[in-house]
Amino acid sequence: MLYDSKSIFEDQIVAVENSSKKKGLNSIDLAMFTDGLRDEREQGITIDVAYRYFTTPKRKFIIADTPGHLQYTRNMVTGASTANVAIVLIDARKGVLEQTKRHSYIASLLQISHIIVCINKMDLVNYNEIVFNRIVKEYEEIASKMMIKDIHYIPISALCGDNVVERSRNMNWYQDSPLLHTLETIQIISDTNKIDARFPVQTVIRAKNNDFRGYAGRIADGISTKIIIYDHNADRTDYPISILNDLDAKKYIDGSAFHLYGGNINDLTKVHTAHPDKNLYFTEQWVGLNEKFEDNLKWHTRELIIGATRNWCKTVLEWNLAADSNLEPHTNGGCTECLGALTIDGNTVTKNVAYYIIAHA
């Protein structure tokens, strides 16, 4: 496929042609383009996983060429673990083998949704349709026991280039697409699971002196939680704007949160104007014990209920809901002047400013 789609450099072709001649072959040994290890070339087998990149006008591809031999099955797993599509090659003379089953099963375990079964070496069975159909049937039988969503069967000759890139003239009975066209048109967009969270653990961090175990890795998908940045006063709108200007950071950020112990509520619109696709939240304001009821009511109504919402805030949070007349409970070092929406002393309940603000909202 690399050869036929002209994805190999001239000098590589010349090198492989020369090695093929040295081995006494009449035609070019295509396996050499992916078999890089000396042992592989000498023994004519694939051991390692070889990644080759190529592009057609329709798609970008990464081929992971993996070994077929039993001893190297784990290398096949490595190659398959990141694949969207698996190509299973079957020798037309031999049909479905133990390794065909093993590899197909691994592909289905790894939830590769698309399998292309290439029935290869059709040149050695006179391009016979009956042989092809018989192998398709054999494969269908094993596939019915696995969870494979989408299977394609293509009769090919890798050596002669039949149905690899170009449609074969030797198999007019096959009307479907050649391999490359199939690869270019398989629908893979909906295969990615963006809903379930996945976190492949790459290392476990242990502390020496205690039971701590930390897990490190990269979140693969499914995390819908996003970060709300800043959470401070309206006097520094430049800070969240500068973070959102960083495109690498921006994609993880839902928006910015604010309080109004400093600055002007109208400045929040600056953040919206700079990043209209991001959310704003008003996440904290408390009502002080020592201020006048009517002043507090007016200020909170004007600045938050009206001001924050007019300046793009999706929420306005007043805290806290209730305390007793000693402003308890609160944690050590916590606010000693914060008046709850309600003061509750035994059966006596007093409604404070925040209660009416919340009622207004």
Ligand X SMILES: Nc1nc2c(ncn2[C@@H]2O[C@H](COP(=O)(O)OP(=O)(O)OP(=O)(O)O)[C@@H](O)[C@H]2O)c(=O)[nH]1
Contact residues toward ligand X (CB under 6 A) are 29, 31, 44-46, 67-69, 89, 120-121, 123-124, 157-159
| Among Mg ion, ligand X, none, partner that 69 touches (CB below 5 to 8 angstroms by kind) | ligand X
- Which CB, 157 or 311, lies closer to ligand X? 157
**Smallest gap from residue 229 Cβ to Mg ion (A):** 50
Residue where the block lists tokens 């023994």: 43
Q: Coil, helix or strand for 192?
A: coil
Give the sign of the dihedral formed by CA 127, CA 128, CA 132, CA 138: negative
Tell me: does residue 256 bind Mg ion (CB under 5 A). no
**Smallest gap from residue 277 Cβ to ligand X (A):** 49
Phi, psi (deg, nearest 5) at residue 248: -65, -40
**Smallest gap from residue 220 Cβ to ligand X (A):** 29
- Which CB, 39 or 176, lies closer to ligand X? 39
Given a contact cutoff of 8 angstroms between Cβ atoms, the answer to whether 13 and 33 are in contact is no
CB neighbour class for 309 (10 Å; exposed up to 12, middle 13-18, buried from 19): middle
| Among ligand X, Mg ion, none, partner that 158 touches (CB below 5 to 8 angstroms by kind) | ligand X
- Which CB, 87 or 341, lies closer to ligand X? 87
Question: Segment 25-84, which members bind Mg ion (CB under 5 A)?
Answer: 46
- Which CB, 90 or 304, lies closer to ligand X? 90
**Smallest gap from residue 77 Cβ to ligand X (A):** 14
With CB under 5 A as the rule, give the number of residues binding Mg ion. 1
**Smallest gap from residue 9 Cβ to ligand X (A):** 20
**Smallest gap from residue 283 Cβ to Mg ion (A):** 58
Amino acid of residue 341: A
| Among Mg ion, ligand X, none, partner that 13 touches (CB below 5 to 8 angstroms by kind) | none
Where are the extended beta strands (E) located within the chain? 50-55, 60-65, 85-91, 114-120, 150-155, 201-206, 213-217, 227-233, 253-259, 279-284, 287-288, 313-316, 322-323, 338-339, 342-345, 348-351
Comparing CA positions, the residue from 262, 257, 234 lying closest to residue 244 is: 257
Given a contact cutoff of 8 angstroms between Cβ atoms, the answer to whether 307 and 265 are in contact is yes
What is the full DSSP assignment across 258-320? Answer: EE-SSS-GGGHHHHHHH-TTSEEEEEE-BEETTS-HHHHHHHHIIIIIIIIHHTTEEEE--B-
| Among Mg ion, ligand X, none, partner that 306 touches (CB below 5 to 8 angstroms by kind) | none
- Which CB, 40 or 318, lies closer to ligand X? 40
- Which CB, 156 or 268, lies closer to Mg ion? 156
Site residues (vs Mg ion, CB under 5 A): 46
